[in-house]
Structure 1
Amino acid sequence: MRRLVILGAGTAGTIAANKLRRLLTKDEWEITIVDQRGTHYYQPAFLFIPFGRYRPDKARRKAAPLIPDGVTRVEGAIDRVDPDARTVRLADGRELGYEYLIIATGTSPHPEETPGMADDWHGAVHSFYTFDDAVALRDALAGFSGGRLVVHITEMPIKCPVAPLEFTLLADDYFKRRGIRDKVDITFVTPLSGAFTKPVAAAAFGDMLDTRGIAVEADYMIESIDPEARTLNSYDEREVPYDLLVTVPLNKGAEYVGRSGLGDELDFVTVDHGTLRHPDHPEIFAVGDAAAVPTSKAGAVAHFELDIFPENFARIIEGKEPVDTFDGHATCFIESGAGKAMLIDFNYTTEPLPGKFPVPAVGPLPLLKESRFNHWGKLAFEPVYWSMLLPGRPLPLPAHMSMRGKRAPA
């Protein structure tokens, strides 16, 4: 019996398990998935929970029912991978052998990596990148009656890189609805040169922040946080004061990746950007946020990767070369408040451009433009996520980014 092991039962791991179980014959292939949490979270909800727009209990489900029949689910923390012995060692000492391995253990925030950041966690310092953090921030925002709100990104890459921008725009809308926007100063602090790095999109996002009276502190490389003085301190000695700080801590892959010698300095798995295959260990792959690829760490990327990956994997296990490659395709809805959102569509080589999506010239979703259609599209994604995306059912979206219907500025 041939053995495939999938590490991680989040979005990418669950889709992979569902698609590959249908593709690989049960009498020839044994598939095991290692689930480290037992709970599956609908992570897009973490953006809405702080503003009281999403009931927290709806954002989580038991992971086991999402795993298909014919896949063995093992709960446990992962200690390390031995690529020479082709084994996975769990924290409790169990070992799983594999012929092929797919790493899908994602990314997580690490506030302890920035001096002072964890010292006042869930006091005046918050985040929304985990379930518990989003719930704690909801309570903090409800009790915030005015002052300096700072939204901060420590370093790239991060999960869903537009989420801090979304949070900033939703915070502006939230305080307007509460009638206290004139009592709140909002500052967006980023290590990038602006709210977004790609020129066409950067112009659109910059205008959105300017018209809302949101200040931007760019090129900000944080050195530390002083929780007593309530200031962010940068390496070039700039101080940004806050009364409430919403930060995105340093994002890192799973620690076992580093212990196993499979990743980069942030423990993201080193892979070929097109085939998602490890360059030194051709039997190892990484999908979703765990992969060190230069595109967004987001559910849409996992979806497009896993539209292409299964057929490539089927060829590889037969000793053939892949015939298709992932192009970095990503789509992201960007909530902008007042019941509107923007949408961007891009890949490794092409920046977000204006146009229509998903049908060229028809849409109905406009690209790089605020629209109620885009807001409804983001809300409508939730049932699609549970009923189609996770089970690996086909979605009417092309895996590769298309230039049809897009307008590149002169």
Structure 2
Amino acid sequence: MGHQLLVLGAGTAGTMVVNKLRRLLDPEEWAITVVDRDDEHHYQPGYLMVPFGSMAPEAVVRSRHAQLADGVRFITAEVDRIDTDADVVLLADGTRLHYDQLVIASGTTPRPDQTPGMDGSLWRESVHEFYTLEGAVALRQALEHFDGGRLVVHVTELPIKCPVAPLEFTFLAESWLREHGRRDRVEIVYVTPLSGAFTKPVASRRLGHLLEERKVLVEPDFMVERIDEEKHALVSFDEREVPFDLLVTVPLNMGADFVARSGLGDELNYVPVDRETFLATGHTNVFAIGDASNIPTSKAGSVAHFSVDVFAENFLDHVAGRPLTHRFDGHANCFVESGDGKALLIDFNYDVEPLPGKFPLPFVGPMTLLDESRVNHYGKQAFPWVYWNVLLPGRPLPLPAAMSMAGKSIPPETRMTGEDA
């Protein structure tokens, strides 16, 4: 057989990579194999909707192999480690898979075990998360039985998958409590390691204002050290305490353990890569894409989408021996559900933070950037169909991979360095 392309992970990024490259690479010359631990592909943005009953748990899950193009080999197995010297991936059952080119797309997962007390006696009782389907289902039950008290929404540390999701949960919970006549009996606190509601100043001010309007207390600069199970409280390294009756936390996110075992990861198991081309540092035939890499931008589906567009073009040049001339600019955009049938939209990249304006057409929209609207909410509602039928199959969307400044308002303080992103 000809060349072997091996992709580790059949999530959002891995699935898009193999579907795009299956169309672009000659099947007589290239065999494509993808490995994942199970055959369940989860629509992860749906996790946020499950606790409020607006998406059924079964609607979140489909078969992984059913999303892959014909001619792609799918293996269900755990990865033990990668031997980059021998160009071999070793599976947990002892199988050895040779590769000519390797793409690591193993994502990131919540690790409550990394924070003392988080996954202890209160776990799934009064301490919950919505970054797994199991967690979202358990949280739905907890919310239904939560009649009053202190609801604390908490982010352990960045980076996390979809960094706006904790804010979205806060807005949606506040709206849901009002709808169910419980809001006046609940104090809501948003606890973050950041100095404000979001990482970028303009968006942080706008989102912080929305929290203030909804009477949500923000506890900033909070670096959690442990959860005190007896006191039912978050405790920071500087010994501040935030008591809770119901805690909805975002645990520390980490990359796959096999990345660490292979000596390819940083301290959080993310693969260091060139942030514009995704080529793994120190390697000529290993790439990391999506949440598995350490690029300094949001770990979000939109980043996977835009980066895969750039990666596919570069990969063709790479295997033909040409230089990698296509550059990823860190483009990300995402809807921010704000409750009451409205949402915001943010659009940004490595160098430019989220700005107000119109999207995708300058001055026309129909979506608004950094302002609540029903149109944005409808866009978010339509996204599951786009995800399953356009993005995952690798079909083109009429959105350029590079961010456009057209139609955006530019306050003078918006220029940043990539390290701030």
TM-score, length-scaled by structure 1: 0.99
Q: Which residue of 2 aligns with 1:313?
A: 315
Q: Of the candidates 277, 280, 283, which is equivalent to residue 281 of structure 1?
A: 283
Tell me the secondary structure at the aligned position of residue 30 of structure 1. Answer: strand
Work out the CA distance in 2 between the residues paired with 1:293 and 1:323: 18
Work out the CA distance in 1 between the residues paired with 2:192 and 2:284: 37
1:233 aligns with 2:235: yes
Cα-to-partner distance string for 1:18-73 (whole Å, 9 max, x where unaligned): 00011110110011000212100111110010011111111101111111111111
Amino acid corresponding to residue 403 of structure 1 in structure 2:
M
Q: How much has 1:311 moved relative to structure 2?
A: 1.1
Work out the CA distance in 2 between the residues paired with 1:191 and 1:200: 18
Work out the CA distance in 2 between the residues paired with 1:6 and 1:22: 15
Work out the CA distance in 2 between the residues paired with 1:374 and 1:43: 19
Q: Which residue of 2 aligns with 1:298?
A: 300
Q: Which residue of 2 aligns with 1:2?
A: 3
Q: Of the candidates 359, 362, 370, which is equivalent to residue 360 of structure 1?
A: 362
Amino acid corresponding to residue 230 of structure 2 in structure 1:
E
Contact 1:9-1:36 within 8 A present in 2 as well: no
Cα-to-partner distance string for 1:203-257 (whole Å, 9 max, x where unaligned): 1011100010000000001010012210000011100000000000000000010
1:168 aligns with 2:170: yes
Amino acid corresponding to residue 277 of structure 2 in structure 1:
T
Work out the CA distance in 2 between the residues paired with 1:23 and 1:73: 19
Q: Of the candidates 204, 207, 213, which is equivalent to residue 205 of structure 1?
A: 207
The alignment covers a number of residue pairs equal to 410
Q: Which residue of 1 aligns with 2:400?
A: 398
1:347 aligns with 2:349: yes
Work out the CA distance in 1 between the residues paired with 2:60 and 2:76: 21
Runs of 4+ in 1 over 2 A off after TM superposition: none
Alignment map for 1:373-392 (pairs within 5 Å): 373-392=375-394
Amino acid corresponding to residue 133 of structure 1 in structure 2:
G
Tell me the secondary structure at the aligned position of residue 216 of structure 1. Answer: strand
Tell me the secondary structure at the aligned position of residue 210 of structure 1. Answer: helix
1:96 aligns with 2:100: no
Amino acid corresponding to residue 238 of structure 1 in structure 2:
R
Amino acid corresponding to residue 142 of structure 1 in structure 2:
E
Q: Which residue of 2 aligns with 1:39?
A: 40
Work out the CA distance in 1 between the residues paired with 2:347 and 2:69: 31
Q: Which residue of 2 aligns with 1:141?
A: 143
Work out the CA distance in 2 between the residues paired with 1:384 and 1:257: 31
Q: How much has 1:163 moved relative to structure 2?
A: 0.3
Q: Which residue of 1 aligns with 2:179?
A: 177
Amino acid corresponding to residue 140 of structure 1 in structure 2:
A
Work out the CA distance in 2 between the residues paired with 1:114 and 1:350: 33
Work out the CA distance in 2 between the residues paired with 1:205 and 1:67: 38
Work out the CA distance in 2 between the residues paired with 1:303 and 1:150: 32
Q: Which residue of 1 aligns with 2:417?
A: none
Q: How much has 1:197 moved relative to structure 2?
A: 2.4
Cα-to-partner distance string for 1:72-99 (whole Å, 9 max, x where unaligned): 1111011100000010011111110001
Q: Which residue of 1 aligns with 2:261?
A: 259
Percent identity of paired positions between Structure 1 and Structure 2: 59
Work out the CA distance in 1 between the residues paired with 2:383 and 2:367: 13
RMSD: 0.6
Contact 1:354-1:369 within 8 A present in 2 as well: yes
Amino acid corresponding to residue 217 of structure 2 in structure 1:
A
TM-score, length-scaled by structure 2: 0.97
Q: Which residue of 2 aligns with 1:336?
A: 338
1:57 aligns with 2:58: yes
Tell me the secondary structure at the aligned position of residue 289 of structure 1. Answer: helix
Tell me the secondary structure at the aligned position of residue 182 of structure 1. Answer: helix
Work out the CA distance in 1 between the residues paired with 2:192 and 2:74: 40
Work out the CA distance in 2 between the residues paired with 1:116 and 1:302: 33
